[in-house]
Amino acid sequence: MSIMEINKGNFEAEVLKSDVPVLADFNAGWCGPCRAMKPMLEELAAGNPGYKIVSIDIDEEDELAEEYEVSSIPCLVVFKGGEEVNRSVGLIPKDAIADLVEG
């Protein structure tokens, strides 16, 4: 499974109405820690972990970033059943990313 790019138009269908947990990566292209985390997220997504990983560019989707109170990036938000259940801000190791979703 690959990382899906999310925008305001597909957020509800792909994140809030997903039948599997979703790890939403709020990021920006100019953010060094975001770029450092991207290969770890791609590796997790390639392993078909039983949850969906999506990417949300805060520069392009500032309404979503504001709605979910994302003030620092990278910001990982876990959604289950349409509700936020976990969050992490800043660069974290791959095993901590997996724990965030599974924990």
Domain extent at residue 43: 4-102
pTM higher than 0.75, yes or no? yes
Q: What is the CATH number of the domain that holds 93?
A: 3.40.30.10
Pick the catalytic residue from 6, 22, 31, 70: 31
* Cα-based angle 60, 65, 10 (whole degrees, multiple of 5): 65
Is the pLDDT score of 103 beyond 90? no
Q: Tell me which of 23, 34, 37, 101 is the catalytic residue.
A: 34
Domain count, the chain: 1
Region 89-101: mean pLDDT is: 95
Query: What's at 100, amino acid-wise?
Result: L
31 is catalytic: yes
pLDDT one-digit tens code per residue, 47-57: 977 999 999 99
Model pLDDT for residues 20-69, shown as the tens digit of each residue? 999 999 999 999 999 999 999 999 999 977 999 999 999 999 999 999 99
Omega before 74 cis (within 30°)?
yes
CA gap 73, 15 in Å, rounded: 19
Dihedral sign computed on CA atoms, order 87, 76, 101, 97: negative
75 is catalytic: no
Instruction: State the angle between helix axes of 94-102 and 32-46 in degrees (0 to 180), rounded to the nearest 10.
Output: 60
